[in-house]
Chains A and B, each alone.
Chain A
Amino acid sequence: MKYQLVRIGSGIPGLDGMTQGGLPFPSTILVAGPAGTGKTTLGLQFLAQGARDGETGLFISTLSESIQWMLRFTSNLTFLKKEYFGQQIVYDDFSGLIKQAKDYRDVLHALEEKLTTLMPQRVVIDSVTVFERFKDDYRDLLYDFSVLLKDVQATTILTGEVDPTEPYPVEVAHVVDSVLLLTSSLTTEGGRNRHLEVLKMRGTNHVTGRHLMAIDRNGITVQVGMG
């Protein structure tokens, strides 16, 4: 008699087929990539899928973006209905708190308050890169966040900014269950191709390698097998 890991739909066409049917629930997932590779879009698609499935999602911005600006920038995305916000998807901006916090535990407690009140099934923290300001306690912070997010019984996406020379934030990658890499490369015509790679997914016999990824107003689509 085998234990069957619960998997939830990612909302990204093509991705669930690479991961045995979906993302493990509960788990923590790092989505890492340079600017413009689709990290926030992926997170929003993940929450929109949850909203369609009757789940509650929490989007925490650490980038000082109010919900008004987020809604404006995402208004052309077909998968994200405005009525999700405040209902199935709760948006919160933690940037001010992170700036003012003397200790990372202040942020941890605020997150705990949010999670225990809402009890969401899906969480996106966009992005964790700003937590590097707590550099003396960074490992403790990552560990404590990881424990809290597991306890709340949610699947959490943490986005992480990287520069093109660094594939992923190594310290974050150690504490999460899965790592998705988003990259882009110049084409011979001077355009850019975007790629998605499942680098690690615990408990999952996932498809390896880089796969071509398209982003348009319908969100991200992974073209599995197309490198």
Chain B
Amino acid sequence: MRSPRHPRRKGGRRLADDERLLDHLDETLRNEKARRLLFIARYSLIPKLNLALLDLLLRRQSRQGIYLSIDRPHKFMDLLLRKRDIPRQKLTYVDLVTKGTVGGDRVGDVKALLSVGGFFWLKLMTNTFEQVFDGMSGNQTQVKLEDASFLLLDNLSVMPAYNSESSIREFFQELRGLLERYERLQVFLITHGDIHPTMLSILKEFSDRVVKLEGAMG
């Protein structure tokens, strides 16, 4: 008999795979105290890992947080969440892929959407992350930075395509500062393992815990 927390979805075998990944993450992260978690998975698993983590955090754990997309437009992730009935009311998107204006935007029924425009904005963002949140009007912001309990970055393996090593290091330095100022925030970083060794070491240095998804899970 299926658990009520597993709503039936389309997809046959995929359903079992997706839920196995979700259960595995649930088990792995239960009572997790680390605030900076790095997930290393096979490249092909990254979209599903993103989705499973959001499913876990938003639905099973009823948390609120921020999804920072570096790899692909947030709209696609929003579509995936919507199709799976994963609640998105407690999620604010920060989209570094879709070009837009700094501040709030509204697409469909997603009220809190922050489109900050452009890959090269990453360096600038390290200094102004909080200001951008402050700049959003109260009605548009579903999740305020001080209320967020997680920050999920979708796929850090693409970072070196758009940023220098120094700006990436600066970004993580700023992120450390952000975590010091917002004590409830837990950061989830995702990458595949076939990245430049320097990038991998930057990510590992930043993280308190590295979770490698192997075998069928990764």
Contact = CB atoms under 8 A, between A and B. Distances in A.
Interface in B154-174: 157-158, 160-161, 164-165, 168
A151 interface: yes
Interface in A61-120: 86-87, 112, 116-119
A54 interface: yes
A3 B79 contact: no
Interface centre among A1, A4, A86 (most CB of B within 10 A): A1
A153 B46 contact: yes
A108 to B, nearest CB: 13
Given A87-B13, A150-B72, A3 B160 contact: yes
B170 to A, nearest CB: 14
A3 B196 contact: yes
Contact of A117 (B11, B157, B194, B216): B11
Contacts of A86: 12-13
B160 A2 contact: yes
A54 B51 CA distance: 19
Contact of B48 (A8, A53, A112, A119): A119
Nearest to B77: A151
B196 A119 contact: no
Contacts of B83: 116-117
Contacts of A1: 160, 164-165, 168, 196, 198-199
B192 interface: yes
A113 to B, nearest CB: 8
Contacts of A55: 44
Interface residues of A, number: 23
Contacts, number: 60
A37 interface: no
Interface residues of B, number: 34
From DSSP, what is the main secondary structure of chain A's interface residues?
loop
A143 interface: no
Given A54-B216, A119-B47, A153-B46, A2 B196 contact: yes
B121 interface: no
Interface in B16-44: 43-44
Contacts of A4: 160, 194-196
Given A117-B11, A117-B14, A112 B79 contact: yes
Contacts of B199: 1
A178 interface: no
Nearest to B165: A1
Interface in B192-217: 192, 194-196, 198-199, 216
Interface of B: 9-14, 43-44, 46-48, 51, 71-73, 75-76, 79-80, 83, 157-158, 160-161, 164-165, 168, 192, 194-196, 198-199, 216
Interface of A: 1-4, 6, 8, 25, 53-56, 86-87, 112, 116-119, 121, 150-153
* Interface pairs A-B: 8 shortest CB-CB: A3-B161, A151-B76, A3-B160, A121-B44, A1-B165, A6-B43, A153-B47, A1-B198
Given A6-B43, A87-B13, A117-B14, 8 more contacts: A1-B196, A3-B158, A3-B160, A25-B43, A116-B79, A117-B9, A151-B73, A152-B76
